[in-house]
């Protein structure tokens, strides 16, 4: 069976996920809208997932995919809870601009 | 340049551009749409890597469940228009700087690392069909698997509790 | 039979006391205190017969820590001091009523347990644990049962706690470093380390900070007077009678043999510091208005001399220091008890409000005077033996050290007699001073008896401690 | 030898037993019984001493008893032992002898005091410590006694403890003694370091046989020991406590501050004569200090009005003469003078006590006078003692003082002149005391006059015994035929070679001394009998006599340069340094608090900032891990 990586090369996947990850980081830093921040986090998660899958293929091992599977489960849970929190924040403050969320300040 | 590489490049271009657009769109709805496209392209990568199961799950979970959640939330909050006040310039500058920095650092590291690329071995074993994954999940990863379900259950209950309207205290 | 028995008795005693309830607590505590004292005498017997009463057991495998309780002469002497003073201290509290007395007495026993552990432990981490453990009970004793304004007290006690704890942390750092070098914290293994002079200096200083605060040496003594004043007398007795000796003991047991090069190199500085403490403490004590504070500063002066003795690195210095530690332990407990007896009757610790007690209670006056004289090292009391030996060791280093350190016998006499004069003599006080009760008298007589007996015949203690001190000296003088 | 040990123990422990009985049961025993037990225990010691005295000629090297190991030092062991040789037995004889007499005297004298049993307890304790001091076989056992007598002196000076001035005096005595004690200790340290022993016998062997001892350190040791002697024997500069010590009851002054304790310094130096003989420089210091003390104390004594103060300064002055003799190497002369001085000075003090007793506590001579008729026995005995101290021929003081002057003349003429002037002054102030007290008319109140009476026999018997001793005491060392010198030869080896011949010079010197003494008496007679002068009131004293009356302001001087600065320093330390140190420690806490407070501001709750810092930190860690490889 022909390994797909022989055509593409693992380094391309690495660069792709790094850039994707950085885009996620950038989004988290750049945007104030909590929803967008959330989306950026999802992008980061996906970048890592992509790498997992790539390495899974590289090692010819299913462990990486299993990990992605769990990571998706966690991501789903996280998004559900996170969005619920956002909803209740929006309900209380009328906005989801993260700069307004300063209640943690000591 | 093989077909597969071309497909990869196209997919990668879609992934990166939609990711960028997700962040830069002023309207959250647009962001969400771009993100869906991004997720689809990632699913394409998965397919390219021959992990069909993950690709399907990815589409179901991310593009299906998660993005729908996002869209619902956005609509719930009525965020379909840009209400975001722009951040001060210094913050934006900081964001760009740190973006460049982290890119530079990570890429520099990967470039300077010992090359791991060599001959890609193929054992020929099936390691990523649904059958194999299912066996692994329910044998080796039995306990984490169950915990994942508990986690989801807890998340569900938590979400319900959080989004329930509190009774006004008098 | 080994020394862990003592620790078990004290720990079990602490729990039993707590469970016994408020009414029985004091008697239960006394019982266990006496049991520990009895057990340590039995153990001493075994030790003198040449039996091995040490207890070494693997405790934690990773990191490599042993539960090592090593009993040599020095440890036995300090253990005896602890177990002898504990029942005396408990007994001395019998005239007072304490709220929540079960916790109070349990804490006393627990503290005694921790201090006994410190004297016995021969593994660095175990030793450190006991060392810190002893801080916790005294913190509560001083905080909850202390006297004076609550805010002031809290301030003083918390300062003491943080101060000593902060000092000890440096010691922990030193231990960690040595563990990395030796792979074990057993004292014997640490002795085998070949550390360079610089390393030794740093270790020495780290230990010094911990000990200088605990002992205390100037200028690290600022916690002392306030805590002594604010703590209940029992707490003060525990602090001054035993806990100070933990620091001095540790200097001999840990600091000097582990960093002998530094000790030799900077000997003069540390002796000088000790002697400066003697003079400074004595001079400050001159004008103290509070009896307990005065005694605190006198204690500062005495431990300064003891510390100077230990840093001479001579057999006489170490031996005198140990003798003086034991003697000072008894005297200072007696003196604080005297302060407590006066407080029970006059509700004051201000010297100016006393006076004229002698005509009312000659017995008490005599006992007080004897303690005062023992404290200023009158020959034939135990303190003289210790002080003489220490001063002699100082004279071996440099005669001026002996002269300056010897000013303690002048200044000490000055402030102690001045205090005695204003507290006890003069026109009969208008306030009635009830004569000492049987319990009070018994406690004081016991202490005085010990002081005179060993003052005339210190040989048992000298014979007990000399071999182990010689061993430590060989460690100090080992060629690196 | 077993026998000797037991008797020695009896000798030492009898007074201690008396002390214990008086302390624990004194009150219930009653005054008489407590006094009798106190006296009896000292008499027992005296008898034991007499036993040893009778046997000493058979054992010229003395009896050495070692009881047990006491203190262990790395290079030597100190055992608790006794040494009974000629010197210590001689000392014991007069300590216990005079001690017994004074105990007897005190039974009557202290009978009105409610704490009489305490008094006897302290006196017994004093005798116990004094015996320990004398009998100890090494410097440290001697030191037990040395400090012990200081303690008893403290207790007895402050016996009337309700009076804080007396307590001050007691404290002063103890502390000044302790200054000396430090000197003594330092001396012991140096000797221990040099010769690895503090035992008298082995020390003597070590010093006399050591081929290369360090001259300098031996001298320092001797000097340090001499400072110790200064403290105990009230020499310049540590003499000021002795006059103040007169606050104690008079028998105490007689026993401790005249006859026994203050001679401890002389005892110690005599004991260590082999050491001092090696250090001529220290010896000359001792001689000069002794002579100057003799003169200074005598000048102060000239104008004092308190009967006991006069005697106190006279004691200091006489002690000075003894030190002069010691400094000149004439230990036997010093010992001789110690003994005769003990007799006549004890007699004088007891006599003055008798007078004070009769006048119910009056001590000022300006309020006395004419007691001759009322108190004949006291008068006669005091007169005898005064004649003795003034050096009138055939009385004991004549022989001993004359020998001191003789020695001084042979060694150093200026010292002889100083000492002679001091003796002339002695004669003057003693007779000034006699004339003011016993002659002319009574100047006290009429109430006192009515009660004037001779003291009871318990008081007069010791007086008579001491007066007799003061008269015939000189017989033990007659010029040219000295029993004492022969007796002391084993202790003082130099004596064996010394020649004692009486030449013309000696007779001339004797005559000068006698004439000087008589001149002193004559001046006193002229002033206080012929002119009938009575010393002026305190306020009217002017000129140099004011300086003298105020004791050269030495007390004030010490107060200003030692006591005050220490107190100021103490207050400075207490208020400034302590606060500063404390503030420093608290400062650490404050700084931490401040950092925390400032650091809190970074935690402003802005998630953007947190994330930014987070990313920076991530970059830093990653690049560190990468670069560190």
Give, rounded to a whole angstrom, the gap between the first and last alpha carbons of chain B: 71
Q: What distance in Å separates the CA atoms of residue D174 and residue C378, rounded to the nearest whole number?
A: 11
Put simply, the chain D residues between 119 and 148 with a CB less than 8 A from any chain C CB are 140, 143-144, 146-148
Size of interface C-D (CB pairs under 8 A): 135
Domains of chain C by residue range: 266-480
d(CA C191, CA C257): 7
H/E run at residue D64: strand D63-73
Q: Is residue B99 situated within a structural domain?
A: no
Predicted confidence band at C218 (pLDDT cuts at 50, 70, 90)? confident
Mutation to test the D interface, candidates C229, C407, C425, most D Cβ within 10 Å: C425
Give the best residue of D185, D196, D581, D588 to mutate against chain C (max C CB count within 10 A). Answer: D185
The per-residue pLDDT for range D183-201, each reduced to its tens digit, is 999 999 998 888 888 888 8
Q: Is the pLDDT of residue C311 over 50?
A: yes
Task: Note the pLDDT of residue B83.
Answer: 58
CA C266, chain centre distance (Å): 25
Phi, psi of D84 (to 5 degrees): -110, 95
> Does A53 contact B at CB distance below 8 Å?
yes
B139 in a domain, yes or no?
yes
How much is the pLDDT for B150? 92
List chain B residues with CB under 8 Å of A83.
Answer: 69-70, 73, 159
In a domain, B74, yes or no: yes
Confidence of residue D389 (pLDDT cuts 50, 70, 90): confident
Q: Enter the tokens of residue A49.
A: 């997932």
| Rounded-to-integer distance, Cα B104 and Cα D496, Å | 106
Q: Which long-range contacts (CB under 8 A, 24 or more apart) does D548-555 make?
A: D548/D299, D548/D300, D548/D302, D548/D303, D549/D303, D549/D304, D551/D240, D551/D243, D551/D300, D552/D296, D552/D300, D554/D240, D555/D240
Here the CATH number for the domain that contains residue B12 is 1.20.120.1200
Q: At B123, is the pLDDT very low, low, confident or very high (cuts 50, 70, 90)? A: low
> What backbone phi and psi angles, to 5 degrees, belong to D67?
-90, -55
Q: Which helix (H) or strand (E) holds D71?
A: strand D63-73
CA distance D609 to chain B (A): 8
Residue among A29, A101, A106 minimizing CB distance to D611: A29
What whole-number distance in Å separates Cα of residue C404 and Cα of residue C410?
10
Q: For the residues C26-33, what does the mean pLDDT come to?
A: 92
Interval D199-233: pLDDT, tens: 888 888 888 887 677 788 888 899 999 999 998 88
- The three-state (H, E, C) secondary structure of chain C, written as one string: CCCHHHHHHHHHHHHHHHHHHHHHHHHHHHHHHHHHHHHHHHHHHHHHCCCCCCEEEEEECCCCEEEEECCCHHHHHHHHHHHHHHHHHHHHHHHCCCCCHHHHHHHHHHHHHHHHHHHHECEHHHHHHHHHHCHHHHHHHHHHHCCCCHHHHHHHHHHHHHHHHHHHHHHHHHHHHHHHHHCCCEHHHHHCCCCCHHHHHHHHHHHHHHHHHHCCCCCCCHHHHHHHHHCCHHHHHHHHHHHHHHHHHHHHHHHHHHCHHHHHHCHHHHHHHHHHHHHHHHHHHHCCCEHHHHHHHHHHHHHHHHHHHHHCCCHHHHHHHHHHHHHHHHHHHHHHHHHHHHHHHHCCCEHHHCCCCCCCCHHHHHHHHHHHHHHCCCCCCHHHHHHHHHHHHHHHHCHHHHHHHHHHHHHHHHHHHHHHHHHHCCCCCCCCCCCCCHHHHHHHHHHHHHHHHHHHCCHHHHHHHHHHHHHHHHHHCCCC
Number of domains in chain B: 2
Cβ–Cβ under 8 Å, residues D151 and D178: no
Of the candidates C298, C379, C288, the one whose C-alpha atom is nearest the C-alpha of residue C332 is C298
Residue D374 and residue C334: Cα distance in Å, rounded? 54
Which of B88-92, D76-80, D372-376 shows the lowest per-residue confidence on average (mean pLDDT)?
B88-92
Query: Is residue B117 scored above 70 in pLDDT?
Result: no
B123 domain-assigned: no
Return residues 13-52 of C near D (CB < 8 Å).
Answer: none
Task: Check residue B14 and give its pLDDT.
Answer: 93
* Model pLDDT, residue A105: 60
Q: How many other C-beta atoms can be found within 10 angstroms of the C-beta atom of residue C122?
A: 23
B2 and B65 co-located in one domain:
yes
Distance between CA atoms of D232 and D238, rounded to whole angstroms?
A: 8
User: Are C36 and C84 spatial neighbours (Cβ–Cβ below 8 Å)?
Assistant: no
Separation of first and last alpha carbons in chain D? 87
CA distance A78 to A42: 10
Query: Rounded mean pLDDT of chain B?
Result: 82
Show residues of chain B in contact with A11, CB under 8 Å. Answer: 110, 117
CA distance D330 to D317: 18
> Computed over its alpha carbons, how large is the radius of gyration of chain D?
30
Q: Among B61, B81, B101, give the residue marking a domain's end.
A: B81
What average pLDDT does range C346-367 have in this prediction? 87
Q: Is the CB of residue B103 less than 8 Å away from at least one CB of chain D?
A: no
The model's pLDDT over C411-421, given as tens digits with 9 standing for 90+, comes to 999 999 999 99
Distances (CA, A) of B95 to A9, A19, B17, D504, D621: 31, 15, 19, 120, 18
Chain D nearest-CA distance from A41, in A, is: 12
CB neighbour list of residue B95: distance below 8 Å, 6 or more residues apart: A26, A29, A30, B87, D612
Report the mean per-residue pLDDT for chain C: 90
What is the least distance, in Å, from the CA of C24 to any CA of chain D?
A: 35
Assess contact for D258 and D316: CB atoms under 8 A.
Answer: no
User: For A64-94, what is each residue's pLDDT tens digit?
Assistant: 888 998 999 999 999 989 888 888 888 887 7
pLDDT at D451 over 80: no
Task: Say yes or no for a CB contact (<8 Å) between A105 and D611.
Answer: no
Determine phi and psi for D83, rounding to 5 degrees.
-130, 115
**Touch criterion met for D and B (3+ Cβ pairs within 8 Å):** yes
What is the mean predicted confidence (pLDDT) over B108-133? 71
Winning range, highest mean pLDDT, from C237-251, D72-86, D441-455 = C237-251
B75 and B133 part of one domain: no
Residue B121 lies in a domain: no
Q: What is the pLDDT of residue A1?
A: 46
> Which of D608, D619, D626 is closest, CB to CB, to B102?
D619
User: In the prediction, which pLDDT does B120 show?
Assistant: 67
D127, D45 contact by CB (below 8 A): yes
The 10s digit of each residue's pLDDT in C260-310 is 888 888 899 999 999 999 999 999 998 888 999 999 999 999 999 999 999
Summarize the confidence of residues C133-147 as an average pLDDT: 91
Whether residue D607 and residue A101 make contact (CB cut-off 8 A), yes or no, is: yes
Within-domain flag for B102? no
- D115's CB contacts (< 8 A; 6+ apart) are D159
Q: Rounded mean pLDDT of D485-498? A: 75
Q: By the 8 A CB rule, do A18 and B107 touch?
A: yes
pLDDT of C54 over the 90 cut: no
Flag whether pLDDT at B28 surpasses 50: yes
Picking from B81, B111, B143, the residue at the C-terminal end of a domain is B81
C63-74 pLDDT, tens per residue?
888 898 988 889
Residues in chain D within 8 Å Cβ distance of B87 = 608
- Chain B contact for D626, CB < 8 A? yes
pLDDT band at C111 (very low <50, low <70, confident <90, very high): very high
* B136 and B64 share one domain: no
Residue ranges of domains in chain A, CATH in brackets: 8-93 (1.10.287.3510)
Closest CA to C1 of C73, C36, C52: C52
Summarize the confidence of residues D401-426 as an average pLDDT: 86
Query: Predicted confidence band at D459 (pLDDT cuts at 50, 70, 90)?
Result: confident
Give pairs for D56-62: CB < 8 Å, separation 24+: D56/D84, D56/D85, D56/D86, D56/D89, D60/D86, D60/D490, D61/D85, D61/D490, D62/D86, D62/D88, D62/D490
HSE (side-chain half, CA atoms, 13 Å) at B121: 6
Chains adjacent to D (≥3 CB pairs closer than 8 angstroms): A, B, C
Q: What are D596-614's pLDDT values in tens digits?
A: 988 887 777 777 777 788 8
- Per-residue pLDDT of D280-327, as tens digits, reads 889 999 999 999 999 988 888 888 888 888 888 988 998 998 999 888
Going from the C-alpha of D569 to that of each of C202, C282, C474, D378, the distances in angstroms are 35, 11, 42, 51
Question: Which residues of chain C have a CB within 8 Å of the CB of D582?
Answer: 222
Instruction: List pLDDT tens digits, range A9-52.
Output: 788 888 888 889 888 888 888 887 888 888 999 999 999 999 99
Domain span at residue B31 reads: 1-81
State the smallest CA–CA distance between residue D597 and chain B in angstroms.
Answer: 25
* D155: nearest Cα among C366, C26, B147: C366
More confident residue, A103 or C233: C233
Q: What is the pLDDT of residue D58?
A: 79
């Amino acid at each position: 069976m022909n390994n797909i990586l022989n055509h593409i090369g693992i380094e391309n996947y690495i660069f792709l996920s790094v850039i994707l990850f950085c885009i996620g980081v950038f989004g988290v830093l750049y945007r104030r809208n909590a929803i967008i921040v959330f989306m950026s986090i999802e992008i980061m998660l996906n970048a890592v997932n992509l790498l997992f899958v790539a390495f899974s293929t590289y090692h010819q091992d299913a462990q990486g995919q299993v990990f992605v599977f769990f990571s998706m489960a966690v991501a789903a849970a996280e998004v559900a809870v996170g969005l619920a929190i956002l909803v209740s924040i929006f309900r209380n403050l009328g906005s989801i601009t993260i700069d307004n969320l300063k209640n943690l300040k000591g | 340049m093989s077909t597969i590489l071309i497909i990869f490049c196209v997919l990668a271009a879609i992934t990166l551009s939609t990711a960028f657009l997700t962040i830069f769109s002023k309207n959250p709805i647009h962001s969400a749409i771009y993100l869906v496209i991004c997720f689809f392209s990632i699913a394409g990568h998965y397919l390219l890597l021959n992990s069909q199961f993950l690709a399907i799950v990815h589409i179901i979970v991310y593009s299906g469940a998660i993005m729908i959640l996002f869209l619902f939330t956005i609509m719930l909050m009525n965020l379909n228009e840009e209400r975001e006040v722009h951040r001060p310039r210094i913050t934006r500058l900081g964001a760009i700087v740190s973006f460049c920095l982290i890119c530079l650092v990570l890429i520099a590291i990967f470039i300077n690392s010992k090359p791991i690329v060599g001959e890609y071995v193929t054992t020929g074993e099936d390691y990523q069909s649904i059958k194999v994954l299912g066996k692994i999940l329910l044998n080796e990863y039995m306990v984490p698997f169950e915990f994942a379900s508990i986690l989801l259950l807890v998340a569900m209950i938590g979400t319900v509790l959080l989004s329930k309207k509190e009774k006004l205290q008098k | 039979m080994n020394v862990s028995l003592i620790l078990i008795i004290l720990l079990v005693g602490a729990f039993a006391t707590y469970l016994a309830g408020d009414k029985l607590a004091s008697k239960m505590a006394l019982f266990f205190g006496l049991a520990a004292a009895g057990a340590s005498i039995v153990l001493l017997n075994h030790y003198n017969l040449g039996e091995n009463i040490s207890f070494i057991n693997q405790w934690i495998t990773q990191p490599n820590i042993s539960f090592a309780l090593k009993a040599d002469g020095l440890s036995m002497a300090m253990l005896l001091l602890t177990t002898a003073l504990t029942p005396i201290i408990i007994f001395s509290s019998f005239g007072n009523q304490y709220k929540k007395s079960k916790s109070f007495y349990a804490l006393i026993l627990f503290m005694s347990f921790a201090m006994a552990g410190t004297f016995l432990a021969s593994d660095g981490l175990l030793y450190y644990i006991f060392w810190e453990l002893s801080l916790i009970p005294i913190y509560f004793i001083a905080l909850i049962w202390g006297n004076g304004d609550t805010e002031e007290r809290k301030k003083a006690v918390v300062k003491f706690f943080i101060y000593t704890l902060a000092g000890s942390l440096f010691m922990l750092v030193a231990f960690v470093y040595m563990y990395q070098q030796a792979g074990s914290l057993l004292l014997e293994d640490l002795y085998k380390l070949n550390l360079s002079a610089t390393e030794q200096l740093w270790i020495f200083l780290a230990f010094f900070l911990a000990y200088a605060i605990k002992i205390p040496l100037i200028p690290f003594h600022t916690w002392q007077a306030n805590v002594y004043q604010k703590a209940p007398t029992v707490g003060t007795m525990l602090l001054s009678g035993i806990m100070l000796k933990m620091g001095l003991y540790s200097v001999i047991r840990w600091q000097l043999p582990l960093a002998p090069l530094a000790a030799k190199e900077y000997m003069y500085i540390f002796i000088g510091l000790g002697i400066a403490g003697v003079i400074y403490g004595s001079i400050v004590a001159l004008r103290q208005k509070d009896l307990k504070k005065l005694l605190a500063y006198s204690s500062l002066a005495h431990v300064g001399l003891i510390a100077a003795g230990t840093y001479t690195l001579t057999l006489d210095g170490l031996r005198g220091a140990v003798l003086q530690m034991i003697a000072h332990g008894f005297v200072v407990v007696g003196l604080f008890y005297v302060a407590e007896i006066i407080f029970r009757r006059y509700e004051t610790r201000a010297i100016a409000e006393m006076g004229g007690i002698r005509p009312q209670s000659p017995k008490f006056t005599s006992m007080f005077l004897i303690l005062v004289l023992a404290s200023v090292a009158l020959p034939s009391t135990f303190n003289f033996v210790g002080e003489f030996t220490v001063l002699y060791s100082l004279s071996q280093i440099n005669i001026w050290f002996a002269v300056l350190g010897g000013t303690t016998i002048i200044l000490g006499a000055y402030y102690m007699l001045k205090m005695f004069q204003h507290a006890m003599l003069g026109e009969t006080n208008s306030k009635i001073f009830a004569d000492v009760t049987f319990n009070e008298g018994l406690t004081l007589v016991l202490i005085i008896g010990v002081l005179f007996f060993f003052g005339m015949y210190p040989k048992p203690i000298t014979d007990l401690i000399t071999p182990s001190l010689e061993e430590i000296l060989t460690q100090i003088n080992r060629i690196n | 030898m077993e026998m000797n040990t037991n008797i020695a123990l009896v000798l030492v422990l009898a007074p201690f037993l008396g002390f214990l009985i008086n302390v624990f049961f004194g009150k219930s025993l009653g005054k008489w019984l407590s006094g009798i037990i106190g006296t009896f225990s000292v008499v027992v010691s005296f008898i034991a001493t007499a036993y040893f005295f009778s046997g000493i000629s058979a054992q010229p090297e003395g009896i050495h008893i070692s009881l047990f190991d006491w203190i262990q030092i790395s290079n030597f062991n100190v055992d608790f032992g006794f040494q009974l040789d000629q010197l210590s037995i001689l000392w014991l004889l007069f300590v216990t002898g005079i001690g017994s007499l004074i105990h007897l005297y005190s039974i009557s004298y202290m009978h009105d005091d409610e704490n009489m049993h305490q008094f006897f307890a302290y006196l017994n304790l004093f005798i116990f410590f004094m015996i320990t001091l004398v009998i100890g076989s090494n410097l440290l056992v001697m030191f037990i006694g040395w400090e012990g007598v200081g303690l008893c002196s403290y207790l007895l000076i402050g016996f009337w403890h309700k009076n804080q001035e007396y307590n001050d005096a007691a404290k002063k005595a103890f502390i000044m003694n302790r200054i000396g004690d430090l000197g003594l200790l330092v001396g012991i340290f140096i000797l221990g370091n040099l010769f690895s022993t503090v035992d008298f016998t082995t020390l003597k062997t070590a010093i006399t046989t050591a081929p290369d001892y360090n001259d300098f350190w031996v001298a320092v040791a001797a000097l340090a020991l001499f400072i110790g002697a200064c403290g105990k024997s009230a020499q310049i500069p540590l003499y000021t406590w002795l006059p103040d010590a007169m606050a104690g009851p008079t028998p105490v002054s007689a026993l401790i501050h005249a006859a026994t304790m203050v001679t401890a310094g002389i005892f110690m130096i005599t004991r260590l004569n082999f050491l001092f003989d090696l250090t001529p420089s220290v010896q000359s210091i001792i001689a000069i200090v002794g002579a100057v003390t003799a003169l200074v104390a005598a000048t102060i004594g000239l104008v004092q009005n308190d009967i006991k103060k006069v005697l106190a300064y006279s004691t200091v002055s006489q002690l000075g003469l003894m030190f002069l003799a010691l400094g000149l190497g004439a230990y036997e002369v010093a010992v001789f003078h110690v003994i005769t001085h003990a007799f006549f000075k004890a007699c004088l003090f007891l006599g003055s006590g008798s007078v004070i007793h009769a006048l119910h506590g009056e001590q000022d001579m300006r309020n006395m006078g004419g007691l001759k008729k009322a108190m004949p026995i006291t008068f006669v005995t005091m007169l005898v003692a005064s004649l003795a101290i003034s050096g009138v021929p055939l009385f004991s003081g004549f022989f001993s003082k004359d020998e001191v002057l003789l020695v001084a003349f042979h060694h150093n003429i200026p010292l002889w002149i100083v000492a002679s002037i001091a003796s002339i002054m002695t004669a003057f102030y003693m007779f000034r005391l006699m004339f003011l007290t016993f002659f002319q008319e009574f100047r006290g109140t009429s109430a006192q006059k009515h009660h004037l009476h001779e003291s009871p026999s318990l008081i007069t018997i010791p007086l008579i015994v001491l007066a007799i001793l003061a008269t015939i005491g000189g017989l033990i060392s007659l010029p040219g035929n000295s029993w004492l010198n022969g007796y002391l030869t084993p202790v003082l080896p130099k004596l064996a070679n010394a020649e004692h011949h009486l030449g013309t010079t000696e007779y001339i010197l004797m005559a000068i001394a006698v004439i000087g003494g008589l001149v002193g008496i004559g001046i006193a007679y002229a002033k206080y009998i012929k002119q009938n002068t009575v010393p002026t009131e305190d306020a009217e004293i002017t000129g140099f006599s004011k300086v003298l009356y105020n004791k050269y302001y030495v007390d004030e001087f010490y107060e200003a340069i030692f006591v005050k600065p220490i107190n100021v320093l103490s207050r400075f330390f207490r208020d400034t340094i302590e606060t500063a140190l404390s503030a420093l420690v608290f400062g650490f806490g404050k700084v931490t608090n401040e950092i925390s407070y400032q650091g809190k501001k970074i935690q402003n709750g802005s998630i953007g900032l947190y994330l930014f810092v987070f990313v920076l930190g991530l970059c830093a860690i990653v690049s560190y891990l990468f670069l560190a490889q």
